[in-house]
Amino acid sequence: MSRIRPRAAAALLTSCAALSAVSAVPAHAVVGEVAKEGTYSYTAQIMIGDHVRGCTGVLVDPQWVLTAGACFAEKPGEAPAAGKPRLKTTVTVGRTDLNSSHGTVSEVGELVPHPSRGVVLARLDRPAVGVDSIAVADTPAAEGKTLAAAGFGRTKDEWAPERLHTTTLTADKVGDDLLTLTPAGTAGGICQGDAGGPVVREDENGSELVALAAGSNGAGCFGSEATGPGQATAIRVDGLNSWLRDHFKSSLLMPGQRLNPGEKLEGARVELRMQKDGNLAMYHKAGGQVLWATQTFGNPGAYLQMQSDGNLVVYKKTGGQGKGGNLWASDTFRSPGSYLQLQDDGNMVVYKKDGGQGKGGSLWSSDTFGRPVTFTSGLELRPGQWIENKNTTLLMQRDGNLVLQHRESGVTVWASGTSGVGNYARMQDDGNLVVYKAGGGQGKGGDLWSTKTSKNPGAFLHLQDDGNLVVYKKDGGPGKGGSLWNSATWGRPTTLAGGQELQAGQWTSSKAGLLIMRYDGNLALYRRGDGTLLWASGTSGVGNYARMQDDGNLVVYKAGGGQGKGGDLWSTKTSKNPEAFLRLEDDGKLVIYKSGGGQGEGVLWKVG
For the cut 80, the answer to whether the pLDDT of residue 31 exceeds it is no
Return the pLDDT at 371: 87
Residue 451's SS3 state is coil
Q: How far apart are CA 58 and CA 244, in angstroms?
A: 13
DSSP state letters, 42-79: TEEEEEETTTTEEEEEEEEETTEEEEEGGGG-SSTTPP
Q: How far apart are CA 9 and CA 323, in angstroms?
A: 57
The CATH fold of domain 495-607: Agglutinin, subunit A (2.90.10)
Mean pLDDT of the region 32-40? 69
Return the pLDDT at 288: 79
Return the pLDDT at 35: 59
For the cut 80, the answer to whether the pLDDT of residue 229 exceeds it is no
Binned at pLDDT 50, 70 and 90, residue 157 comes out as low
Instruction: Name the residue ranges covered by the structural domains of the chain.
Output: 9-242, 252-365, 370-486, 495-607
Q: How far apart are CA 37 and CA 335, in angstroms?
A: 27
Return the pLDDT at 6: 28
Mean pLDDT of the region 270-282? 97
For the cut 90, the answer to whether the pLDDT of residue 385 exceeds it is yes
CB 165 within 8 A of CB 35: yes
Q: How far apart are CA 312 and CA 282, in angstroms?
A: 15
Strand partners, 395: 386, 403
Residues ≥6 apart with Cβ < 8 Å to 6: 180, 217, 231, 232, 233
For the cut 60, the answer to whether the pLDDT of residue 340 exceeds it is yes
Q: What percent of the chain has pLDDT over 90?
A: 68
Helix (H) or strand (E) holding 242: helix 241-247
Return the pLDDT at 162: 74
Binned at pLDDT 50, 70 and 90, residue 154 comes out as low
- 526 to 504, 507, 511, 573: CA distances (angstroms): 16, 11, 11, 22
Q: Tell me whether strands 135-136 and 206-216 are parallel, antiparallel or unpaired.
A: parallel
Chain segment 467-507, per-residue pLDDT in tens = 999 999 999 999 999 999 999 998 889 999 999 999 999 99
Same fold for the pair 9-242 and 370-486: no
Chain segment 76-113, per-residue pLDDT in tens = 888 899 999 999 999 999 988 888 888 889 999 899 99
Q: What does pLDDT average to over the chain?
A: 88
Q: Comparing C-alpha atoms, which of 105, 124, 106, 7 is closest to residue 66? A: 124
Return the pLDDT at 129: 81
Return the pLDDT at 98: 84
Cα 252 from chain centroid? 14
Return the pLDDT at 2: 34
Amino acid making up residue 400: G
Q: Comparing C-alpha atoms, which of 552, 573, 549, 575 is closest to residue 563? A: 549
Q: How many CA atoms lie within 13 A of 133 on its CB side?
A: 14
The CATH fold of domain 252-365: Agglutinin, subunit A (2.90.10)
- Residue that wins the pLDDT comparison between 288 and 243: 243
Return the pLDDT at 11: 35
Return the pLDDT at 269: 85
Chain segment 552-571, per-residue pLDDT in tens = 999 999 999 999 899 999 99
For the cut 50, the answer to whether the pLDDT of residue 14 exceeds it is no
The CATH fold of domain 9-242: Thrombin, subunit H (2.40.10)
Binned at pLDDT 50, 70 and 90, residue 224 comes out as low
Q: Comparing C-alpha atoms, which of 85, 21, 22, 23 is closest to residue 57? A: 85
The pTM of this model reads 0.68
Binned at pLDDT 50, 70 and 90, residue 160 comes out as low
Chain segment 121-144, per-residue pLDDT in tens = 999 988 888 899 999 999 999 999
Question: Domain spanning 370-486: which CATH class is it, in words?
Answer: mainly beta
Return the pLDDT at 220: 60
Chain segment 566-596, per-residue pLDDT in tens = 999 999 999 999 999 999 999 999 999 999 9
